[in-house]
Structure 1
């Protein structure tokens, strides 16, 4: 199938004596004229075909669609509340995860440093001397 049925015929190819091709343009049917723009005239509604499809301007105010505005506001508030709920749920999950991570790190640190007793984590022998005297006897 030929996709360009109205294509211009190809320009004839001429060759110079040394074999270099050069292309010639077909002869013009009329002399070239300079473009001279004309003044733009206003188009009336009767002349313009799209004017028949435009809606008529409403000069009188219509009924206030308060039920539609209430419904749109309710949908907007509901969507905002749902988004806020997702945000708070994500924040709670993140803080819970951080708390668990810090707790695990604290337990690992205590196990590593032997944090049992009042010795402050320093292992070794402790000398204890206790003198007990009962003066009431």
Structure 2
């Protein structure tokens, strides 16, 4: 790109105004006719219907006869019932498994708390004291002598 030449300025169309003050952009070439403003076309007139309105109403569609099965679809009902019972069995199985896992976890927590309580509240046995001295009195008689 040649930076020594000045950049050409973009063309800006001059703004002209109609006698009522509406702006419009002038074309670069001189106009051969005055510019026309956009005016929407008026809506088409609604056709007038003469006579009784029932003559112009659409004809009702014929009613289709209700489809009645020739026989009871008992195999489909049995299959649907079996699928439903199987799904319910799987759901009950998952429920029982979750309940068993929850009770096992609660059992482990209770056992851990019981062990902690026992370690805290016992004297540890074996002569370390803790509860005080113990008096022992032993009376042994031998009748075979």
Using the size of structure 2 for normalisation, the TM-score is 0.49
Given the alignment, which residue of 11, 21, 38 partners 1:25? 38
Given the alignment, which residue of 120, 125, 134 partners 2:130? 125
1:13-59 deviation line (CA, Å, top 9, x unaligned): x841689338822574xx655436753634347xxxxx6xx78636x
Following superposition, the deviation at residue 95 of structure 1 comes to 0.9
Following superposition, the deviation at residue 91 of structure 1 comes to 0.8
1:57 aligned residue: 65
1:67-110 deviation line (CA, Å, top 9, x unaligned): x2x11211121111111111111111111111221122123213
Given the alignment, which residue of 105, 109, 116 partners 1:105? 109
Aligned length: 107
Residue range with higher mean Cα deviation, 98-107 or 120-129: 120-129
CA distance in 2, matches of 1:130, 1:37: 127
Ranges in structure 1 where 5+ consecutive residues have no aligned partner:
1-13, 46-50
Cα RMSD over matched residues?
A: 4.2
Q: Secondary structure at the match of 2:96?
A: helix
Using the size of structure 1 for normalisation, the TM-score is 0.51
Change (3 A) 1:106 1:32: closer
